Amino acid sequence: MTYAANNIFAKIIRGEAPCAKVYEDAHALAFMDIMPTTEGHTLVIPKEPAESLFDLSASGAQHLIVTTQKVAQAVKKAFDAPGIMLMQLNGAAAGQSVFHIHFHIIPRRAGLDITIHGRTMADRKVLEKHASQIRALL
């Protein structure tokens, strides 16, 4: 598969689609998942155009995981989560639905059932509130 420059994450990077931004630097962007599985569900993407882990440069992969770690620490604190689940899916067969590499940061608690992807759109005001909680801890 060839990287699709008009996927939703590429549009978010270019500022053509909205997001509840949590963090941004020259190489990566973190924002709230529009269909969260839990409160605080955050996505981290590289700005490098790469469909999967296998298409991402070594330096891009390094920056992506460092950024994911930094954001995950803030998500954990912001939502007082005893656990954090990181998911990174490669290919449709693995459940990837947006073909731009990304990490899911999902706050977890014992007994909390979740699915890989949320089923309903979250209210943008709620997402902005959650993004603000996380940003305050970065």
Catalytic residue numbers read 102
| Residue 43 burial (10 A CB sphere; 0-12, 13-18, 19+) | buried
Q: Phi-psi category of 88—alpha, beta or left, where left has phi over 0 and alpha has psi -120 to 50?
A: beta
- Write the CB contacts of 4 (distance below 8 Å, at least 6 apart in sequence): 10, 99
Spell 64-92 as b/e; 16+ CB within 10 A means b: beebbebbbebbbebbebeebbebbbeee
d(CA 14, CA 36): 22
